[in-house]
A and B are shown apart, each in its own frame.
Chain A
């Protein structure tokens, strides 16, 4: 397939694997976090770990939209569908995210709530136009990639004068989450949650097409960690790993861009303008696994307040703790690996997820379960130690 196969070429991968092996210093470890679930998925699906030296460790980051959605917000969505009789539209993965008391939107749907899976925010808008006598709520989630489409739907709803369409905004911001992760890597004794040791970050792919590479510069400047923005294809990931290792070896901490075919420093101005027109920063937002992070999410602004679900319906927010045995929090911070969780593969499997990381194919646990768990039985050698030992 044109423009895709070229980025999955096994021969080129072999060459990059050799270059990485030549660059890596055997005397040290390299702890690299791929922030995005898209990268996690590519790493697992193409078996990239097999092409890396054992001292290059990939740590799965929190960049999976459904993984970081706190239980309380799903509870709110279920309440909207069940108590306010709305047509609740959302993206497919969200339906299976476990809420409190082991409920989910999928179960609410089976019990009679009108929950519909859509492929785009505009599908939800169409449903609102087709059913003027029903309230339609678009349960909007995601990082900066899915924010502009939500903004577009809200703006169009206003232009059309729709009275029955609102968006339940759960959009979150990548740079804030990266800061949250890096802050959690502070040394022990600073009172912060223990985080993973990170030597470099494989930067977001699609998110960066919207926001550009500039918003990551604080990582290099304030935290002295290198960032390489990478596409989601496996060769992109390999190339970015090589670039990170070169920076680390040279003692550099810069924001580099491997994904030049789609990302520039300033991003997509049109999308940014659209987002700024419809959304405001939220002073605080709870992230599953990372806790409350200030200014890390968006809400619909006053000008578009008529299209804000949170203004139209009384939906009190109640923070809900994860299942006691669930390690999603530590996994999202990169402190633990999926297989370190005692629920992994037993009580928690993709068909019956306990934690959010087991839901989406981009979640660290689902990716390891689906693509990698055979490794846990194969190579129990010294290279299989926990990430942060």
Chain B
């Protein structure tokens, strides 16, 4: 850091007592100080150090993907993670669901006046750690401050850029009748972890959010089984929503079985007393894969060999259906539809 410039500040940021104030978003000296002492320190890389308004990078050959995701989760800190790592994982996963390797992230912060700087640092450090672990650089960013009462602490929007390996064509419209549907692990963990902290619900549970970056799992999957038709992470709206989206996009129906869908017993219990269906509860570290039947067993083995896919299961198959219904054989032995989510199960979970 440049010593002459640092001396010109009135005093360093107070990480213990300090709070975000309007000047931190003014574009003036206080903004610059926040960028330097917080964001630069945490995300440190050449792009940010250049202090330009944009980041320049070389474009690799092949198809690039971009994805953007805003994060407004409440509470900001929850068992298993916080809004910081969630904002990195969420966007990395969106990029990865094209079969892509994520390369870069950008981050936009909307901070509420009065937000403790110590909490902000915790969040930014968590983001930086998640990005480092994922080997993805945060190369550009922006910070705005809104008056007290006009935000809820911190909102973070991240955008991810990635590149798709040669020979991989993954898209939500490629599910074909006969394809198998695979799920990477237990469902509902993230949603239940968040709900357990909500003021009006507040219940004791040991469930932690499953928030995780899935691109490592995806990389081994596309390497070993390049002919994957669809990948999607069932976040808001849960597994049910993801299956309906793909059925609609591909113009097919689906028949799944309830029995092999893994659900933690604590998640089942929480859903039971909250009147929720785990099929609709959010995940942040799971994926659904759809592939031709002949490679399904091989893909399952590859997923199970990865720590983030240890509980993977084949849960059903794609069928021909003009109505694009997702039907499920219940563990009880009957059949029912798994419809789109109606209304909102619980707001602001990611």
**A interface with B by C-beta (< 8 Å):** 1, 4, 8-10, 13-14, 17, 44-51, 96, 118-119, 123, 234, 350-351, 366, 369-374, 377
In the complex the two chains form, is A377's CB within 8 Å of B330's CB?
no
**Does chain A have a CB within 8 A of B204?**
no
Please tell me if B135 contacts chain A, counting CB pairs below 8 Å: no
A234, B332: Cβ atoms closer than 8 Å: yes
User: Which A residues touch B325, using CB under 8 A?
Assistant: 374
Judge whether B333 and A10 touch: CB under 8 Å.
yes
> Could you tell me if B330 and A47 are in contact, using CB atoms closer than 8 angstroms?
yes
CB contacts (< 8 Å) of A371 on chain B: these are: 336-337, 339
Interface of chain B residues 314 through 345 with chain A (CB within 8 A): 323, 325, 327, 329-337, 339, 342-343
Name B339's contact: one of A1, A50, A370, A377 (CB within 8 Å).
Answer: A370
Q: How large is the interface on B (under 10, 10 to 19, 20 to 34, 35 or more residues)?
A: 20 to 34
Q: Please tell me if the beta carbons of B200 and A10 are within 8 angstroms of each other in the complex.
A: no
Q: How far is the CA of A372 from the CA of B336 in the complex (A)?
A: 6
Which residues in A have their C-beta under 8 angstroms from that of B269?
1, 4
B331 touches A8 (CB 8 A): yes
Do A48 and B334 have beta carbons less than 8 Å apart? yes
A123–B323 Cα distance when bound, in Å, is: 43
B343-A351 in contact (CB<8A): yes
Q: How far is the CA of A46 from the CA of B277 in the complex (A)?
A: 12
Q: Is the CB of B272 within 8 A of A51?
A: no
Cβ contact of B343, chosen from A14, A49, A350, cutoff 8 A: A350
Contact check, A377 vs B200: say whether CB atoms are below 8 A apart.
Answer: no
**B333–A350 touching, CB < 8 Å:** no
| B residues 238-295 in Cβ contact with A at 8 Å | 259, 265, 268-269, 272
Please tell me which one of the listed residues B200, B331, B333 contacts residue A119 in the complex, with CB atoms under 8 A apart.
B200
Query: Do residues B343 and A96 form an inter-chain contact, with CB atoms below 8 A?
Result: yes
Partner of A377, one of B259, B323, B329: B323
Residues of B within 8 A of A118 (CB): 200
> B334 near A50 (CB under 8 angstroms)?
yes
Given contacts A4-B272, A123-B200, A374-B323, contact A46 B337 (CB under 8 A): no
The answer to whether B333 and A47 touch across the interface, beta carbons within 8 angstroms, is yes
Shortest Cβ distance from A238 into B: residue: B332
CB contact under 8 A between A370 and B272, given known A10-B331, A118-B200, A350-B343: no
Kindly state the separation between the CA atoms of A168 and B74 in the bound complex, as whole angstroms. 32
Give the distance to chain A from B204, nearest Cβ to Cβ, in Å: 16
Q: Which residues of B contact A119 (CB under 8 A)?
A: 200-201
Bound form: Cα–Cα A47–B327 in Å: 11
Contact B334 A372 (CB under 8 A): no
Q: Is the CB of A351 within 8 A of B342?
A: yes
A255 to chain B, nearest CB (A): 27
26 contacts between A and B (CB under 8 A): A4-B272, A8-B332, A9-B332, A10-B259, A10-B331, A10-B332, A10-B333, A44-B336, A46-B334, A47-B335, A47-B336, A48-B332, A48-B334, A50-B333, A50-B334, A51-B332, A350-B343, A351-B342, A351-B343, A369-B339, A370-B339, A371-B336, A371-B339, A372-B336, A372-B337, A374-B325
Which residues on the A side are within 8 Å of B323 (C-beta)?
A: 374, 377
Known contacts A351-B342, A370-B339, A371-B339; A46 and B272 CB within 8 A of each other: no
Candidate in A44, A46, A366 with the most chain B CB atoms within 10 angstroms: A46
Contact present for A45 and B342 (CB under 8 Å): no
Assembly CA distance A377 to B201 (angstroms): 40
Shortest Cβ distance from A120 into B: residue: B200
Assess the A13–B336 pair: CB atoms within 8 A.
no
B148 CB, nearest partner CB in chain A, Å: 20
Contacts of A46 in B (CB 8 A): 330, 332, 334, 336
Contact (A47, B334) CB under 8 Å given A1-B272, A377-B323: yes
Partner of B332, one of A4, A47, A366, A377: A47
Contact, CB under 8 Å: A373 / B337: yes
Question: In the complex, A118→B200 CA distance in Å?
Answer: 8
A145 to B269, CA, bound (A): 22
A-B interface pairs (CB < 8 A), number? 68
Least distance between B238 CB and chain A CB atoms (Å): 14
11 additional A-B residue pairs with CB within 8 Å, beyond A10-B330, A46-B332: A1-B272, A4-B268, A10-B259, A13-B332, A46-B330, A46-B336, A47-B329, A47-B330, A51-B334, A96-B343, A118-B200
The residue in chain B whose Cβ has the minimal distance to the Cβ of A106 is: B343
Q: Is the CB of A370 within 8 A of B337?
A: yes
* Residues on B with beta carbons closer than 8 Å to the beta carbon of A369: 339
When chains A and B are docked, how far (Å) is the Cα of A45 from the Cα of B328?
A: 10
CA distance A17 to B334 in the complex (A): 11
Docked-complex contact B330 and A370, CB < 8 angstroms: no
Query: Which A residues lie within 8 Å of B268 (CB)?
Result: 1, 4
Q: Which partner residue on chain A sits nearest B323 by CB separation?
A: A377
Q: How far, in Å, is A111 (CB) from chain B's closest CB?
A: 18
**A49 engages B334 (CB within 8 Å):** yes
On chain B, the residues within 8 Å of A4 by CB distance are 268-269, 272
Task: Report A215 CB to chain B, min CB distance, Å.
Answer: 26
- Counting chain A CB atoms within 10 Å of each CB, the highest count among B268, B325, B336, B337 belongs to B336
CA distance A369 to B323 in the complex (A): 13
Please report the C-alpha to C-alpha distance between residue A7 and residue B132 in the assembled complex, in whole angstroms.
Answer: 47
List of A residues within 8 angstroms of B330 by Cβ:
10, 45-47
Cβ–Cβ < 8 Å partners of B265 in chain A: 1
Complex alpha-carbon distance, A93 and B268, angstroms: 22
In the assembled complex, the Cα of A4 lies from the Cα of B265 at a distance in Å of 11
Whether A370 lies near B331 (C-beta < 8 A) is no
B333 touches A14 (CB 8 A): yes
CA distance in complex: A10, B265 (Å): 18
Q: How long is the Cα–Cα vector from A102 to B336 in the complex, in angstroms?
A: 30
- Which residue from chain B places its CB closest to the CB of A234 in the assembled complex? B332
In Å, the complex CA distance between A44 and B339 comes to: 12
Residue on B with the closest CB to A10? B333
Q: For the complex, what is the distance from the CA of A48 to the CA of B336, rounded to whole Å? A: 9
Provide the residues of chain B in CB contact with A44, threshold 8 Å: 336
Provide the bound-state CA to CA distance between A50 and B335, in Å. Answer: 7
Q: Whole-angstrom distance between the alpha carbons of A118 and B198 in the complex?
A: 13
A319 to B96 Cα, complex, angstroms = 56
Cα A4 to Cα B323 in complex, Å, equals: 34
The 10 residue pairs across chains A and B that have the minimum distance between CB atoms: A47-B334, A50-B334, A350-B342, A46-B332, A371-B336, A374-B325, A47-B335, A47-B336, A10-B333, A370-B339
Residues of the B chain whose Cβ atoms lie less than 8 Å from the Cβ of A13: 332-333
Contacts of A372 in B (CB 8 A): 336-337
Q: CB-nearest residue of chain A relative to B331?
A: A10
Q: In whole Å, how far is A121's beta carbon from the nearest beta carbon of chain B?
A: 13
Q: Tell me which residues across on chain A come within 8 A of B200, comparing CB atoms.
A: 118-119, 123
> How far is A1 from B268 in the complex, measured between Cα atoms in Å?
7
Nearest residue (CB) in A for B274 is: A119
Contacts of B336 in A (CB 8 A): 44-47, 371-372
